[in-house]
Chains A and B, each alone.
Chain A
Amino acid sequence: MFVSDFRKEFYEVVQNQRVLLFVASDVDALCACKILQALFQCDHVQYTLVPVSGWQELETAFLEHKEQFHYFILINCGANADLLDILQPDEDAVFFVCDTHRPVNVVNVYNDTQIKLLIKQDDDLEVPAYDDIFRDEEEDEEHSENEKDDGPEPSEKRTRLEGLEEEIVARTMKRRERREWEARRRDILFDYEQYEYHGTSSAMVMFDLAWMMSKDLNDMLWWAIVGLTDQWVQDKITQMKYVTDIGILQRHVSRHNHRDEDEENALSVDCMRISFEYDLRLVLYQHWSLHDSLCNTCYTAARFKLWSVHGQKRLQEFLADMGLPLKQVKQKFQSMDSSLKENLREMIEESANKFGMKDMRVQTFSIHFGFKHKFLASDVVFATMSLMERPEKDSSGTDNFIQALDSLSRGNLDKLYHGLELAKKQLLATQQTIASCLCTNLVISQGPFLYCSLMEGTPDVALFSKPVSLSLLSRHLLKSFVYSTKNRRCKLLPLVMAAPLNAEQGTVTVVGIPPETDSSDRKNFFGRAFEKAAEGTNSRTLHNYFDLSVIELKAEDRSKFLDALVSLLS
């Protein structure tokens, strides 16, 4: 059921109990987790935090811990599948689920006792009505008993015959009605569960809770901002929703940070300040050189077509148009001439407009503390993402999770800077892989979708075995492909991408990306499509990730899986 009053029905319930937190492995979940941890520490709520990266880990961790806790909080996991079925908990276990994955499974919505959803009810949910999906079984049984009682009476044969006929007619009517109802139910559920999409960021939901209890801090606000920006970076929400949410956060930012404008009572430079920025969407540009950032941001790289020589020339034209000397642009941004940096944003926006890039600037926030440390929200998102998804020697993903969680605290700046370096490598590798895929025509059209597969020996292929990195690569590849191809029909196709995961076990990670359109509503149908294709061909797949559009597949089953997918989608 949906929790209406977060404070009374959630926070005050867990305040005097020990709780277990299951946190999924993405940046939004990490931010929500930080906010909740800060609240719990303020109120001395004893908790245990367990990172999970997939359904199997959730199950194992639950089995290990279920005797010790009655209250479980799941962050960014668990809403889109039947929790009670998967976890098989005891009668008195209560689950609080704060998840952005939609559609929320109907069992989770209509269970009144054990599952409480920390989701606002107007968060574009469209849950089917109760009567359309569930039906009391008792009515049918009673009816059939009555019918039995109306058994044969030895007298009045004729009335008995008539009575029997009526019975049979009534029974067939009921059966037909029931079949119709079931067909309708199947349709409704199919429509409801067909497309996967994402709702409001969990970090924002947690911040809202903190604000309701008047326990919100600037730090928590920053984490909420990072959570929202993560959703935008990974294209999980529509542009309109992003702008609306930015507006909401903007109000909080001005409430917490208004002292900047007042010169007399300005805060010391060491205090943390958040400010609203209408800044360039060039990735990491303040921590890198402007040239590198232009080459490695998907937006500019795709539109300039930087994988071709012609594209490189256009980039140089662009820089020349603004009057920025190449030498300046290629050195670290912080060492650029301050005269050039002064009106940089407006200059770039103007020139970008001339070159057909209308959305060069985007609304976002930045944080500063001390003289040296200034970060945009997207910088932090990329840094944390790279920390979390870097390839590691130890097979449990929890080390990376812990590093990424630590990097979000302001006291661990060295980890954040390390993350920034890793992010730069990741972005470079992404662009190079895209360039090689496009130049060697690795993206082939399979009919209803495009398909691209990374070979085992490709450089940096190890960086793309995890779901978020691979999704980011695929999305950028699709965007770049749309700009590179002349085939109008191919521009509207979705993309399925495969990358090797584990050479010994012969598995690949497969991810499905919806087609790239200007007004896309970011709904992804590949989750269900993959499931059906796998069932149909008995391929050995593992639907372990919480995002159903990313699966693991045995390399040998690849071709029959793809064939099934083609026939399913055409």
Chain B
Amino acid sequence: MFCNRAMEMVRELQRAPQGQLLAFNEDGLRQILEEMKNLYEQNQSDVNEAKSGGRSDLIPTIKFRHCSLLRNRRCTIAYLYDRLLRIRALRWEYGSVLPNVLRFHMSAEEIEWFNHYKKSLATYMRSLGGDEGLDITQDMKPPKSLYIEVRCLKDFGEFEVDDGTPVLLKKNSQHFLPRWKCEQLIRQGVLEHILW
């Protein structure tokens, strides 16, 4: 049946947990494009035949193939667009440097798109807030206090605070640090925010 591959790719996305970026399915995409090419060529020859040979009984077949082509296109675009949305969310989650694992999961074009997005976000942030710009990726929820109590869940090593002094993050040590320094590490799961 046609469009099976495309359906599979869309289902793959649906199965992936919220926000997770799976490896880019190069193979699948290639197969879909091949299928589309085959369908298109078959359609092309049939159309010529129908026009010249007057075979109107081929028209439903042509219509059917055309629908498959449209379906394939729709599925592929949905796949690519959803991945882009996930990659965009990654910027807000991880900051401008992505972990290597994720970078391997993206295709070259997606990486380029990510870089463009990063640049436009940075330009926007610089344009806000006067001279220095405003980092809007911080404080996604309104903060309740300047400093927060965090507990270290794994051995992380040294971590620099604003005035340059390092803090050694060892498992099960607790620290009282400025909120903005800890947010990244909390998202990465190294620190845990303790609520009193």
Whole-angstrom distance between the alpha carbons of A317 and B182 in the complex? 63
Of B165, B167, B176, the most chain A CB neighbours within 10 A belong to B176
Contact between A46 and B168, CB atoms less than 8 A apart:
no
Contact between A48 and B174, CB atoms less than 8 A apart:
yes
- Given known A-B contacts A68-B165, A402-B151, A409-B196, A47 and B172 have beta carbons under 8 A apart: no
Q: Name which residue of chain B comes closest to A46, CB basis.
A: B176
Quick one: which of B137-154 are within 8 Å of A by CB? 146-147, 149, 151
Majority secondary structure, B binding face: strand
C-beta contact mask, A30-64 vs B, less than 8 Å → 1, else 0? 00000001101100111111110000000000001
Cβ of B71: which chain A residues have Cβ within 8 Å of it?
none
- Given known A-B contacts A41-B149, A65-B168, A68-B167, A46 and B161 have beta carbons under 8 A apart: yes
Contact between A48 and B172, CB atoms less than 8 A apart:
no
Contact between A48 and B149, CB atoms less than 8 A apart:
no
Please give the distance in Å from A71's CB to the nearest CB on chain B: 12
Please give the distance in Å from B165's CB to the nearest CB on chain A: 6
Please give the distance in Å from A408's CB to the nearest CB on chain B: 11
Contact between B165 and A51, CB atoms less than 8 A apart:
no
- Given known A-B contacts A48-B175, A409-B196, A411-B196, A64 and B147 have beta carbons under 8 A apart: no
Quick one: which of A393-438 are within 8 Å of B by CB? 396, 398-399, 401-402, 409, 411
Q: Name which residue of chain A comes closest to B147, CB basis.
A: A44
Does any Cβ of B come within 8 Å of A18's Cβ? Answer: yes
> Assuming A399-B172, A402-B151, what are 7 further A-B pairs, CB within 8 angstroms?
A44-B147, A46-B161, A47-B175, A48-B174, A64-B168, A68-B165, A68-B166
Whole-angstrom distance between the alpha carbons of A263 and B21 in the complex? 61
24 sampled A-B residue pairs with Cβ under 8 A? A18-B165, A37-B149, A38-B196, A41-B196, A44-B146, A44-B147, A47-B176, A48-B167, A48-B174, A48-B175, A48-B176, A49-B173, A49-B174, A49-B175, A50-B170, A51-B173, A65-B168, A396-B171, A401-B172, A402-B151, A402-B172, A402-B174, A411-B195, A411-B196
Does any Cβ of A come within 8 Å of B58's Cβ? Answer: no
Does any Cβ of A come within 8 Å of B80's Cβ? Answer: no
Q: Name which residue of chain A comes closest to B162, CB basis.
A: A46
Cβ of B173: which chain A residues have Cβ within 8 Å of it?
48-51, 398
Please give the distance in Å from A407's CB to the nearest CB on chain B: 13
Please give the distance in Å from B25's CB to the nearest CB on chain A: 41
Q: Name which residue of chain B comes closest to A402, CB basis.
A: B172
Cβ of A64: which chain B residues have Cβ within 8 Å of it?
168, 170
Whole-angstrom distance between the alpha carbons of A401 and B173 in the complex? 10
Does any Cβ of A come within 8 Å of B85's Cβ? Answer: no
Please give the distance in Å from A418's CB to the nearest CB on chain B: 18
Cβ of A67: which chain B residues have Cβ within 8 Å of it?
166
